[in-house]
Amino acid sequence: MSRLNYHHLYYFWQVAKQGNLTQTAQKLHVSQSALSSQIKQLEQTLDVQLFTRKGRALTLTESGYHALSYAEEIFKNGEELEKLLTSGKALPGATIRIGILSTISRNFIEQFIQPLINQEDCRYTLQSMSQTGLLTALGEHQLDMALTNIPVRGSNKQNWQSRVLARQAVSIIGPPGLDLGKDLGASYRDRRWVLPYGENPLRAAFDAFAAQYQLHPHIIAESDDMAMLRLLARDTGALAVMPDVVVKDELDNGILKSYLVLPSVFENFYAVTVKRRVVHPKLDTLFRPLL
């Protein structure tokens, strides 16, 4: 159990903000000696000196500055917690905690969170992790929402709330100037490729087309990370398989070209949440453009 006395910390916080022991004691309706005693007890408990004292003047030490920074956050969160519990609603100024699958397209993420980027009073965190990590963090209420391109199904222990945010067509991407046809015919045979790795559904779809059209692809690199595939597509001169959104900037700048959309092949992007009594009010701004 922590030995930190938050009552003592509160008194320190007030004195540090006020900068004057006498004025703070008057504001808090306690004696100056009692206030000084509380702060000394805090220093003794933490075995640090928080103030240097010169007469009546108090100056924060380096440890004091660190303590003040944490105290500001602690008591700000305490005020928000009190308002949340009394109102039953999350505060608009509370941080939105978004988890993202580590291998998902960053361009898609940026497009999706654009409504938050455009709000000056909005604070949010983006945490990258595995699919298992996302679901664990959601189940423990460490995240408000998770973004993934892997379908999520409920279980007896957890009823995930999953919705499709977007459905992106998948294309064959490559450097400009290649003589490639409008179907997966001879012009695509014996080409160099960078492809999604493992059990990715995009890879399975491409392998099926390759077998059907006898492409015999020369695979030079594989990755399960779309950000890595983007770099490989840009720098190797090989053909790649991915949604256009992954390389949007390169397509716009003419560094890469989208040659062919694979028929009936899509990558789905999902928002996953769990049922909660208190939902952050600004999450609705993310879903509103989708309605």
Give me the mean pLDDT over the 20-41 stretch.
Answer: 87
Instruction: Quickly state the pLDDT bin for 1 (edges 50, 70, 90).
Output: very low
Sign of CA dihedral 252, 256, 259, 262: negative
Is the pLDDT confidence value at 14 over 50?
A: yes
Instruction: Quickly state the pLDDT bin for 87 (edges 50, 70, 90).
Output: low
List % helix, strand, coil for the chain (3-state, nearest 5).
Answer: 45, 25, 30
Confirm whether pTM is higher than 0.85.
no
Distance between CA atoms of residues 74 and 12, nearest Å? 13
- Pairing outcome for strands 160-174 and 239-243: antiparallel
Between 88 and 208, whose confidence is greater?
208
Distance between CA atoms of residues 50 and 71, nearest Å? 12
pLDDT score at 84: 64
pLDDT score at 288: 65
In single-letter form, the type of residue at position 197 comes to: Y
**Residues 219 and 195: beta-carbon distance below 8 Å:** yes
Instruction: Quickly state the pLDDT bin for 291 (edges 50, 70, 90).
Output: very low
Tokens of 110: 């940026």
For residue 267, the Cα-to-chain-centroid distance in whole angstroms is: 20
What is the CA angle 207-194-184, rounded to 5?
50
Give me the mean pLDDT over the 165-172 stretch.
Answer: 92
Contacts of 57 (CB under 8 A, 6+ apart): none
Domains of the chain: 6-87 (1.10.10.10), 96-164+270-290 (3.40.190.10), 167-268 (3.40.190.290)
Instruction: Quickly state the pLDDT bin for 89 (edges 50, 70, 90).
Output: low
Tokens of 184: 């997966």
Could you report the per-residue pLDDT of 57-82, keeping only the tens digit for each? Answer: 788 888 888 888 888 888 877 776 67
Give me the mean pLDDT over the 263-272 stretch.
Answer: 91
Tokens of 9: 């910390």
Indicate left, alpha or beta for 78 from its phi (over 0: left) and psi (-120 to 50: alpha).
alpha
**Residues 225 and 102: beta-carbon distance below 8 Å:** yes
Is the pLDDT confidence value at 142 over 60?
A: yes
Could you report the per-residue pLDDT of 95-134, keeping only the tens digit for each? Answer: 888 999 988 888 899 988 888 887 777 788 999 999 999 9
Is the pLDDT confidence value at 267 over 50?
A: yes
